[in-house]
Amino acid sequence: MTAALRFDPIRLPPECEQLRKEVRAFLAEEIAAGTFDPNKPNREDTDAPEFSRRVGAKGWLGMTWPKKYGGQERSFLERYVVTEEMRVANAPTRRFFVADRQSGPVLLKYAPEHIKMDILPRICRGELCFAIGMSEPNSGSDLFAAKTRATKTDGGYLINGSKIWTSSAHIADYMIAIFRTSPPTKENRRHGLTQFLVKMKQPGIEVNPIGQITGQFEFNEVVFTDYFVPDDHVLGEIDGAWKQATSELAYERSGPERFLETYYVLTELVRAVGDKPDTRSAEGIGRLVAQLHTMRRMSVSVAGMLQAGKEPVVEASIVKDIGTVWEQQLPHRVRDLAAFVEETASNRETLEKQLEFALRTAPKLTIQGGTTEVLRGIIARGLGLR
């Protein structure tokens, strides 16, 4: 066999179910207290710093990290449960989500000890928001074409250039970014980029909001002008960011956020058709639920394999590929079925409002965090095609 893909039928262990109850109870309290409305999915421009702190106080941020950095040393499967429950409830996770999923793990691996001791506990307490500085105006999927320079100076580097499509840069306290420290070599065009920890809200950084087709201002252009980064903010090997960029991707690609982004419209459709759906509605809902269940089983399987110390890189890319295509199509399929919902359905207005937002959101889902084309290239490599 050329391609031995594995999706072991991994089940969440019993401790996850207790945790799930706690998360649901917490979210129900937050909803009751008016922190957020689960029927309003346009959470992306909702900054909820107090909510973030309360999630941190629960011990649900950085929960897999070592205790000495504020973590709980719990499993990735437990983190999985927290993530999916927050996502399904449309909780306002923007402030902490990137730090918890991505930036924290990078710091854990590459930051000097004193920086880890300083920053990681604050992420765990829900006090810090992170952004990711990858794309540039002429470098999106082609990450290694990045041009924004980091020029060596006394005690650090001077940054000049710009990043773009940077989610949450307007509220972020830090950014983890890649900058060019050397030109690429003939042998290796990926050479010459270095990963840095960047403190935001400082002179030399300008954040310009960019309007999105959803009507939100959630991503930004970030312009650096002689912005100083001290030496100890270099993360990992100088010129060697390309070696570091791939290892964490399996976590980033296969989580529940990769297929649940538009889930709310399915719930609302089920509500709208009532308890005795006609054949067409039942068939449509049945298929969508079967697809959702399958996606989740694949995603849990990858999470379980990661927890077991395996490296299911191709499997994780597959989860993101078919998960994002699915969540992109979901609002359209729900719209197909909503055409037959009774005018008198009590939640008709909610469903229509949600569909409007989901249809506007859908195009980005197969672009953000690695396009479908890039993912399929990775899968093709895993299959031995390139």
Contact 295, 259 (CB under 8 A): yes
Q: Which of residues 323-382 bind other proteins (CB under 8 A)?
A: 373, 375-377, 379-380, 382
Q: Which of residues 309-328 bind other proteins (CB under 8 A)?
A: 314-315, 318, 321-322
CA–CA gap between residue 305 and residue 292 (Å, rounded): 20
Asked whether position 28 contacts other proteins by CB under 8 A, the answer is no
Structure tokens, 137: 């105006």
Report how many residues bind other proteins under the rule CB under 8 A: 58
- The 291-310 contact track toward other proteins, x by CB under 8 A, reads xxxxxxxx--x---------
Asked whether position 36 contacts other proteins by CB under 8 A, the answer is no
Best CA proximity match to 193, nearest among 159, 154, 228, 232: 159
Structure tokens, 151: 């020029």
Residue closer to other proteins, measured from CB, 122 or 296:
296
Best CA proximity match to 351, nearest among 271, 276, 246, 285: 271
Residue closer to other proteins, measured from CB, 226 or 283:
283
Provide the sign of the torsion angle of the four alpha carbons 131, 173, 54, 49, taken in this order: negative
Measure the CA angle with vertex 204, ends 200 and 210; round to 5°: 65
- The 225-264 contact track toward other proteins, x by CB under 8 A, reads --------------------------------------x-
Residue closer to other proteins, measured from CB, 240 or 377:
377
**How far, CA to CA in Å, does 250 sit from each of 31, 158, 253, 310, 319?**
32, 32, 5, 10, 10
Closest approach, Cβ 97 to other proteins, in A, equals 19
Among 7-15, 57-65, 148-156, 216-224, the segment contacting other proteins (CB under 8 A) = 7-15
Contact 265, 358 (CB under 8 A): yes
DSSP 282: H
- The 70-99 contact track toward other proteins, x by CB under 8 A, reads --------------xx--x-----------
Rule CB under 8 A: which residues touch other proteins?
A: 1-3, 5, 7-9, 11, 20, 84-85, 88, 263, 266-268, 270-271, 273-277, 279, 281-287, 289-298, 301, 314-315, 318, 321-322, 373, 375-377, 379-380, 382-386
